[in-house]
Structure 1
Amino acid sequence: METRVLKTLEFDKIRELVAAHCTSSVGRSHMEKLVPVSDFAEVLRLLEETDEGLAILRVRGNVPMGGIKDIRPHAKRAQMGGLLSAYELMETSNTIRASRILRHFIEGVVVDEDIKIPHFIVKKDAIPVLTGLEHEINSAIDDNGHVVDSASGALRSIRSGLRMQEARVRERLESYTRGPNAAKMLSDTIVTIRNDRFVIPVKSEYRSHYAGVIHDMSSSGQTVFIEPDAVVQANNEIRNLKLKEQEEIDKILLELSAKVQEVAHDLFVLIDILSEIDVVLAKAKYGTVNKYTKPEVNNNGYIRLSQAWHPLLPVEEAVANNIEFGKDITTIVITGPNTGGKTVTLKTVGLSVLMAQAGLPIPALDGSEIAVFDSVYADIGDEQSIEQSLSTFSSRMVNIIDILKKYDDQSLIILDELGSGTDPQEGAALAISILDEVHGRGARVLATTHYPELKAYGYNRPGIANASVEFDIDTLSPTYRLLIGVPGRSNAFEISKRLGLSDRIIDRAKTFTGTDRGEVESMIASLEDSRVQSEKDAEKTHAVLLETERLKRELEERLTEFEKTESALKEKAKERARKIVEDAKRESEAVISDLRALQLNAGTNVKEHELIEARKRLENAAPDREKKKAIQAKEGPRPLAVGDEVKVLSYGQKGTLLDKVSAKEWIVQIGILKMKLDESGLQYIKPEKEKQTYISTSVRGRDSHVKLELDLRGERYEDALIRTEKYLDDAILSNYHQVSIIHGKGTGVLRQAVQKYLKNHSRVKTYRFGESSEGGHGVTVVELK
């Protein structure tokens, strides 16, 4: 893309807005190189990268990009054998650390979130791993850019001696500050430093009382800073030690600089990748903040923008338009008066194309589609300027001639006020001829003009459509709505009439416009009336559709309510029937009791088996819901689940399902052994509590169904402790000596809570983390008393 076109369509301003979302200076530097590309596959890749960035920001909110510095000058100087300062080495280490954190972050997104980010994975894998250099620099230099004592044994020894020597000098000088004449002869009873030498501040009039070297004098001249002869030699020793210290520091920095030199190329690659990721995330943030969308792209010249607006206009002021062309219609000519929004429409389309080809979301709704063009050309003049002269026409014609030399059928051409700045008839003729030329060679063209001769241009030429920007006669102002298929009217007579110009003058003016012009204006007015009527009809249709949808929702709600009521009534009827049967059973029991009493007391001839049969018939009359549920449960095999007890057919042993490793394979614990077995060799065993039809009150024994493991993963804090307490009681009743509690690793909160509870439990002998084969730190093994 030509630089002049990018500036004409204001792509450089878009680039500045995106750069503001970059985190690092290297990202902002890389953003300056952002230009639209014309390769279709590359445009797809750029948009997919931005879409992945949007997905990451949506699920994580932010990406850790802090600490990245432009270390390319450091790496370049190291490549040339230069000595890097401690601060430069620290910046290098921090940048490597930032790349390591980013790499782990991307890996975490892939593992934890259900999103696909293949382009970010490729970039992550391409980041050089320089952890070794990071650790070596960190072991020698602290966060403030100072070489630490532990950087080498020699440096530690030198600094130790230096501190001891400085302490001796301070102690010697402090004896002067504590002397009997100190308050009188010293300006202050402190030890200070001048020219890297320890000195004492002496009043000028007593300078002769202290033999030594004067290193400095106060600005008032009342104080001199004297190094007494008694500490000169000691200060010299300190000076020598500091020189040795600097030599050792330079040696350490030189060694680290040499290590940077070895990986200088990797550091350049690292910075390039980090800056690319920063740019991609900046694009995503820019799109998120402004609610832009990712367009579909094609390479057949088709553009469909749904409710698109100019990205440099305030959202609350911009008017969104639907714009579609590039298939049957390849050229659109927008006519109408100035200040109506024609130029804004051109720039909206041009900027949307450039933004998409640069991998940026566009200011339009979802479902928009953009063509990838080999080149975009634009000639947009300042039609608001009063300087419409021959020189203006000449300069713009030079630009158009240059476009005509370069364009082809894979080009988008944007022409604003084509043919303006010269004689209207000649300008209109040139405009028609130029449009015929570029349209005939298959380019996609958007052009604006205010020449009346072009209002009928699209009616007798296939593939060309007229358009206009709507003007509200009632308010005498443009609405900025684009109307494709309807040419613009000048509205001069209507506006003048509403402003108060005499009808006589307006009627006379109409006689000078010519028959053809009047017919064209009448045709345009008819088209506008048809459009208004179509919009009214569309509004009525939309209202009917909304009413239909409302009725549908209302019927669905009523049907749902009816089904609920029907179900409730059925349940109520069943409950009433059950109650009637139960009442009958109670009544029959009373009757049978009376009969027995009669038999015993009065010798009534009633046989016992007759009484039993009567009672059985009454019991069978009652609806046995539990029995029905049991029959329904037996209708199909129950699918296996984690925690189920199964029989291992190949071994004839019972086991417990711990985890499902594939579609047909399970991890099964048999006693103290864990085995991976196929599902076909496992048979589900119902727990005892499902087999029994009565409630057992006996104490659990060793054979009762208590698992050797308790799985708390996913449990809330309080629920986990309740389950742990109950499980330990059951395990103790079952005479288990050792059990395992699975709490997972996670944040460690659940693990700490469980182990704190175990620590205070009276029947817990010891507990420990599981071995690697037992689950590691995700499991606590408990030994019971």
Structure 2
Amino acid sequence: MNQKVLKTLEYHKIIEKLTEYAASEPGKRLCRELEPSSDFEEIVQAQAETADAVARVRQKGSVSFAGISDIGGSLKRLEIGSSLSIHELLAVSSLLTCAARAKNYGRRQESELPDDSLDEMFRSLEPLTNVNNEITRCIISEEEVADDASPGLRHVRRQMKITGDRVHTQLNAILNSSRTMLQDPVITMRDGRYCLPVKAEYKSSFQGMVHDQSATGSTLFIEPMAIIKLNNELRELEIREQKEIEMVLAALSMELVPYVETILINLKLLTKLDFIFARAALARHYNCSMPKFNKNGYIHIKDGRHPLLDPKKVVPINVYLGKDFDLLIVTGPNTGGKTVSLKTVGLFTLMGQSGLQIPAFDGSELAVFDEVFADIGDEQSIEQSLSTFSAHMTNIVRILEKADSHSLCLFDELGAGTDPTEGAALAIAVLSFLHNMKCRTMATTHYSELKVYALTTPGVENACCEFDVETLRPTYRLLIGIPGKSNAFAISQKLGLPDFIIQDAKSRLEEGDEAFEDLLASLEESRVTIEKEREEIASYKSEISRLKSRLEQKEERFDERKDKLIRNANEEAQRILREAKETADQTIRQINKLAQSSGVGKELEAERTKLREKLDKVDKNLSLKNEKGPKKTISPKKLKIGDGVKVLTMNLNGTVSSLPNAKGDLYVQMGILRSLVNIKDLELLNEPAISGPGMDLMKKNNTGSGKIKMSKSFSVSPEVNLIGMTVDEAIPVLDKYLDDAYLAHLPKVRVVHGRGTGALKAGVHKHLKKLKYVKEFRLGDFGEGDTGVTIVTFK
């Protein structure tokens, strides 16, 4: 990709932001070296890596790659048999520690398979834990090696301590006996030797070796003769200590030699992962999405936002190019957003081909181009000299020499800076040449001739940046398919230019130009009208949908009431029929007793049998049998605790309080009644509805307070938010909420108290310990709110 377009589209600013998110210097170097690729497979792979990193960060949080440094030189020294310094060994240890941290972060559950594009890299990391532990055991810091790094070092340092103690004992004795000769009663060090500050006049009286004197010459730093031998011993021990340290470093270096290749692979993998996760961090910062890529030159950006503009002010644009047309001409007034639209398309292409996600809506599509060319000038002055035109034309000539059907060309104010007639002709000639080569091109212009060219040429489309004449402000919306008006007369009139001047200007317009501008104005009015009508239609559709939903709900309630009335009527009819049967049987028995002597018993029995059969037939027709099963079979996997269901055999509504076992049996809570039923006997309700024996008691309550209380307890939220409250304010709220939740038979609830100072959390935990109906409570896990929430389980 040519370097000029990277500068023109401010690609380097994106790279600077990307570099900030890399944690290591090798990772930052990869970020700085990132350039767009034209290899389709390479781009798709890079985009997959970025997307997988974004997904991991969203699921697990970020991972730190701090501690990675370029240790390539140290590994080369190991290969040739050299020993590493403390600093180099600590750098290797830091790399191995980072590898262990990254490998642990990269582990995933079996259920999370199949692998993503990063799994192989995480699996290939080798932390070399044993070797790393040995380095950290032996080396405490940049300046210190541990005493127990080797037996020899431990012995030498013990001897140094003993000798040092003897030196201090001797010096303290001399200091106490010669206090009058000393400038200060202190022990000092000069040239690594212990000395005493002796007054200059006592030089001849104090036996020892002079090492230094003060600036005034009044004090001499003398090593007493009595400790010279001990100081010599101490110096020899220091030399031996240094040799022992060198032996420790050599031994540690030798342990690393077999793993040089492994460490080098770790370095490369961690550097690449740091680079990939920096791309993911950039994507999260700009709220990006992964674009789809094609080889057909098709671009479709949905709600694209230029990443270098203020996210609170930038207006998303929708751009498509390359399918029905390959040349898009954007017109409209200055400061309307034409250049921003141009730069957005170019920068998104560069970012996408670099493996970076783009700040646009999901499903946006980009094409892979071999080259991107841009002639975008920052000159916005009224006066443009010949040199400016020459500079732009020189750039255009270079673009025309190199552009082909696999290129994207962007031109800002094509043909500007010279005579309008000639400039428009040149612009049309340049665009026609690129259009004939099937080069994907986007250009901005003020020339009406280019608007006509777009309207009359197949494969060329107009677009404009919308402008509100009433407020004299651009809306920054890009409208494809509509040429833009310059609005010069309207803007001038709003700004106060006299009407007679404007009328004079209009009279000087050629008839064709005026008619064309009027046509554009008519098109613009039609577009605004159509958009308003479209919005009204969408509003009507939404209202119709709401009314339809309400009607369906009313029909369902009507059907329920109808079924209830029929059921009540059948029950009443059955009661009357039973009474009639009992009366008839009793009457027949009496008649039988009276008729035994008359010899008509058989006839009476036959009549009684006929009557009973007739009554049984009526009873059968009126009997309540649940011949129909559930309207829709419930899948055990989709059933959740708390779901509203209807128990068909009992004709009661309730909530699921346990999941079904292997036979499909589960417990359902129906008011105060809890019963074991089979899943085949259940019908899923849209909303939890509670009914049962306890509900009859509620209906008998004249005040209705019991019904309100029961309804509230069964509609309680699964969590309560106490953030912002003091402990005294929170406890009554918590008490009321836990009572409602317990009555609603919720198995557990979530208490949100936040982190803060910890006072609210402590107060909540202290209060929970006192509640007898609380089985246990714990802080939330990762994904539940962490230490900012408490999960409470009821008995």
Instruction: Give TM-score, length-normalised by structure 2.
Output: 0.69
CA drift at 1:486: 1.5
Q: Give the whole-Å Cα distance in 1 for the aligned partners of 2:146 and 2:564.
A: 79
Distance, in Å, in 2 between the alignment partners of 1:77 and 1:400 is 53
* 1:355 equivalent among 331, 345, 351: 351
Which residue number corresponds to residue 15 of structure 1? Answer: 15
1:562–1:374: structure 2 CA closer, same or farther, 3 Å change rule?
Answer: farther
Q: 1:319 to 1:217 in 2, by over 3 A?
A: same
**Secondary structure class of the residue paired with 1:146:** coil
2-structure distance, mates of 1:548, 1:472 = 33
Give the corresponding residue for 2:403: 407
* In the alignment, structure 1 residue 390 sits paired with structure 2 residue 386: yes
* Structure 1 residue 77 displacement after superposition: 4.4
Match of 1:276 in 2: 272
1:157 maps to which of 155, 158, 182: 155
Residue type matched to 2:358 in 1?
A: I
Query: Distance between the aligned counterparts of 2:552 and 2:164, measured in 1?
Result: 91
Which of 108, 131, 134 is the aligned partner of 2:132?
Answer: 134
Aligned to 1:532: 528
1:546 and 1:254 mapped to 2: Cα distance?
A: 78
Question: Does the CA contact (< 8 Å) of 1:52 and 1:117 recur in 2?
Answer: no
CA contact (8 A) 1:90 1:145 kept: no
Of 150-159 and 304-313, more deviation after overlay is shown by 150-159
1:71 lines up with 2:67 in the alignment: no
2:339 pairs with 1:343: yes
Aligned to 1:417: 413
Over the matched positions of the two proteins, sequence identity in percent amounts to 42
The aligned runs of 1:458-473 (5 Å cut-off) are 458-473=454-469
**Native 8 Å contact 1:419 1:427 kept in 2:** yes
Distance 1:273 1:569, change over 3 A: farther
Q: Structure 1 385/497 Cα, relative in aligned 2: closer, same or farther at 3 Å?
A: closer
| Cα distance in 2 between the residues matched to 1:576 and 1:361 | 71
Deviations 1:70-116 (A, max 9, x none): 32343344445554320221121111111122112211xx1177365
**Which residue number corresponds to residue 59 of structure 1?**
59
- Residue of structure 2 equivalent to 1:499: 495
Partners of 1:565 and 1:60 in 2: CA distance: 51
Residues 83 and 253 of structure 1 are in contact (CA less than 8 Å); yes or no, is this contact kept in structure 2?
Answer: yes
- The 5-angstrom pairing of residues 534-613 of structure 1 reads 534-555=530-551, 557-558=553-554
Q: Is the 8 A contact 2:84 2:249 kept in 1?
A: yes
Q: CA deviation at 1:562?
A: 6.1
**DSSP-derived class of the 2:372 partner:** strand
Aligned residue runs from structure 1 range 278-297, under 5 A = 278-297=274-293
Equivalent residue number for residue 310 of structure 1: 306
- One-letter amino acid of the counterpart of residue 65, structure 2: M
Q: Is the 8 A contact 2:196 2:222 kept in 1?
A: yes
Whole-Å separation in 2 of the counterparts to 1:66 and 1:570: 75
Structure 2 SS opposite 1:242:
helix
- Matches of 1:387 and 1:79 in 2, distance apart? 67
Secondary structure in structure 1 of the residue aligned to 2:109:
helix
Report the counterpart of residue 167 of structure 2 in structure 1. Answer: 169
- Distance in 2 separating the partners of 1:226 and 1:294: 76
CA deviation string 1:497-536 (max 9, x = no partner): 2223232222222232212211211121111111111111
Deviation at residue 129 of structure 1 after TM alignment: 4.8
Q: The residue matched to 1:284 in structure 2 has which SS?
A: helix
Amino acid at match of 2:144: H
Q: Can you give the 5+ residue segments of structure 1 that lack an aligned partner in the other structure?
A: 588-627, 640-678, 685-689, 691-785
* 1:416 shift after superposition: 1.1
1:215-240 CA distances to partner (integer Å, 9 max, x unpaired)?
23345554432210111111111111
Report SS of the residue matched to 2:70. Answer: coil
Q: Tell me how far apart the structure 2 counterparts of residues 402 and 260 of structure 1 sit (CA, whole Å).
A: 55
Q: Which residue of 1 aligns with 2:250?
A: 254
List per-residue Cα deviations over 1:365-412 (Å, max 9, x = no partner): 112111222221111111324672222222222222222222221211
Residue 291 to residue 572, structure 1, CA distance change in 2 (3 Å): farther
Whole-angstrom distance in 2 between the partners of 1:284 and 1:147: 39
Q: Is the 8 A contact 2:306 2:359 kept in 1?
A: yes
Structure 1 residue 571, shift from structure 2 partner: 10
Answering whether residue 90 of structure 2 is matched by residue 94 of structure 1, we say: no
Change (3 A) 1:144 1:564: farther
- Distance in 2 (CA, whole Å) between partners of 1:19 and 1:74 is 25
1: distance between equivalents of 2:256 and 2:394?
Answer: 54
Q: Is the CA contact (8 Å cut-off) linking 1:202 and 1:225 kept in structure 2?
A: yes
SS at match of 1:456: helix
Q: CA deviation at 1:67?
A: 2.8
Partner Cα separation in structure 2 for residue 257 and residue 353 of structure 1? 48
1:122 to 1:197, Cα distance in 2 relative to 1, 3 A: same
Change (3 A) 1:293 1:176: same
Question: CA, structure 1 residues 172+522, in 2 after alignment: closer, same or farther (shift >3 Å)?
Answer: same
Partner of 1:329 in structure 2?
A: 325
Partner of 1:27: 27
Cα displacement string for residues 278-305 of structure 1 (whole angstroms, at most 9, x for unaligned residues): 1211221222232211122222111111
Which residue in the other structure is 2:297 paired with? Answer: 301
Distance 1:561 1:361, change over 3 A: farther
CA displacement 1:471-510 (0-9 Å, x = unmatched): 2111122221112111121211122222232322222222
Contact 1:294 1:362 in 2 (8 A): yes
Q: Distance in 2 between matches of 1:378 and 1:384?
A: 17
Distance of 2:94 and 2:461 partners within structure 1: 59
How many Å separate the matches in 2 of 1:208 and 1:279?
A: 71
> Corresponding residue for 2:785?
none
Do the aligned partners of residues 17 and 236 (structure 1) sit closer, same or farther apart at CA in structure 2, a change above 3 Å counting? same
Contact 2:23 2:64 in 1 (8 A): no
2:586 matched residue in structure 1:
none
Structure 2 residue runs of 5 or longer lacking an equivalent are 583-624, 637-661, 665-675, 677-795
CA distance in 2, matches of 1:562, 1:186: 111
Q: Which residue of 2 aligns with 1:597?
A: none
Rounded Cα–Cα distance in structure 2 between residues aligned with 1:530 and 1:115: 54
Partner of 1:231: 227
Give 3-state SS (helix, strand or coil) of 2:429's partner: helix
Write the distance in 2 (CA, Å) between the matches of 1:195 and 1:327: 82
Q: Kindly provide the amino acid, as one letter, of the partner of residue 121 in structure 1.
A: D
- Once the two structures are TM-superposed, the CA of residue 553 in structure 1 deviates from its matched residue by 3.8
CA–CA distance in structure 2, aligned partners of residues 567 and 199 of structure 1: 110
Q: Per-residue deviation at 1:422? A: 2.0
Residue number among 476, 484, 489 corresponding to 1:488 in the alignment: 484
Shift in alpha-carbon separation, 1:385–1:558, aligned structure 2, 3 A: same
Q: Which amino acid aligns with 2:71?
A: I
The size of the alignment, in residue pairs, is 591
1:158-178 superposed Cα distances (whole Å, 9 cap, x missing partner)? 22222221121111112123x
- Report the counterpart of residue 214 of structure 1 in structure 2: 210
SS in structure 2 at match of 1:65: coil
Distance in 2, Cα, partners of 1:10 & 1:47: 21
Specify whether residues 576 and 70 from structure 1 end up closer, same or farther in structure 2 by C-alpha distance, changes over 3 A only.
farther
When residues 567 and 286 of structure 1 are mapped into structure 2, their CA distance, relative to the original with a 3 A threshold, is: farther
Structure 1 residues 440 and 513: CA distance shift in structure 2, 3 A: same
Residues 113, 225 of structure 1: alpha-carbon distance in 2 compared, 3 angstrom cutoff: farther
In structure 1, what is the Cα distance between the partners aligned to 2:562 and 2:298?
56
Aligned partner of residue 419 in structure 1, secondary structure: coil
In the other structure, the counterpart of 1:723 is none
What RMSD over aligned residues (CA atoms) do the two structures have, in Å?
Answer: 3.4
Alignment of 1:669-688 (within 5 A): none
> Is 1:441 the equivalent of 2:410?
no
Q: Distance in 1 between matches of 2:486 and 2:127?
A: 67
TM-score, structure 1 length as denominator?
A: 0.70
Correspondence 1:105-116 to 2 at 5 A? 105-107=105-107, 110-111=108-109, 114=112, 116=114
